[in-house]
Amino acid sequence: MVCHAGPVTTTWRHLPASAREIAEAATEAVDAARDRDAGAYGPAADRLTAADRAGLVLGGVVRLLLEETHPDGLDGDDVRQVLERCVRSAAQWRPDVDPHVLLVLLAGALGVYDPGDDDAPPDPAAIARHAPLLVADLLAAAGRPLEGYLSAAFAEVARTELHD
């Protein structure tokens, strides 16, 4: 069962237009995933696909959630449990869920994914269709809303860009 923390009250007006688009699309997609609303999920995932750097931001959200839900670190069994839980939950309403794409998302968020190891890395559209499923699942496990993680991920991206 997925918990719902109530209506979204965060506005993203303070963000630049490109970041605001990511925040709004991510919020819509994660809400649709949480609610298992296939009709709303597709358009929101399409918005994420079109939003430059959405994968980077959602990867940051995934990493933050993994760190919080596994404060002692993750081992292979932990990754497998997260992957299995997310796939089982998503497959109930998204029969096209691809465990490989979710595994790439997990590995990428943990900083251990090397695209050279993969014969055909997932395309940005596949990442955009799967990232909100993983985020919604991890949020349910954490029992927290998306907004704080999304804000922290944007701050992390901004810090990284400042130092590069």
Q: Is residue 157 part of a domain?
A: yes
Residue % of the chain over a pLDDT of 90: 68
Q: Is residue 9 part of a domain?
A: no
Q: Do the Cβ atoms of 74 and 103 come closer than 8 Å?
A: no
pLDDT confidence of 15, banded at 50, 70, 90? confident
- DSSP calls for the chain: ------S-----TTS-HHHHHHHHHHHHHHHHHHHT-HHHHHHHHHHHHHSTTHHHHHHHHHHHHHHHH-TT---HHHHHHHHHHHHHHHHTT-TT--HHHHHHHHHHHTT---GGG-SSPPPHHHHHHHHHHHHHHHHHHHT--SHHHHHHHHHHHHHHHHH-
User: Can you give the residue range of the structural domain that contains 99?
Assistant: 17-163
Q: Is residue 83 part of a domain?
A: yes
Q: Is residue 4 part of a domain?
A: no
Q: Is residue 6 part of a domain?
A: no
Q: What pLDDT does 117 receive?
A: 61
- pLDDT tens by residue, 18-61: 889 999 999 999 999 999 999 999 999 999 999 988 988 999 99
Residue 70: is its pLDDT beyond 80?
yes
- pLDDT tens by residue, 82-96: 999 999 999 999 999
Count up the domains in the chain and report the number. 1
Q: Is residue 153 part of a domain?
A: yes
- pLDDT tens by residue, 101-136: 999 999 999 988 877 765 678 898 999 999 999 999
Distance CA 130, CA 82 (A): 14
Backbone angles phi, psi at 122, to 5 degrees: -60, 145
Q: Is residue 8 part of a domain?
A: no
Residues in CB range of 25: below 8 A, 6 or more apart: 44, 47, 48, 51, 54
Q: Is residue 3 part of a domain?
A: no
Between 160 and 26, the higher pLDDT residue? 26
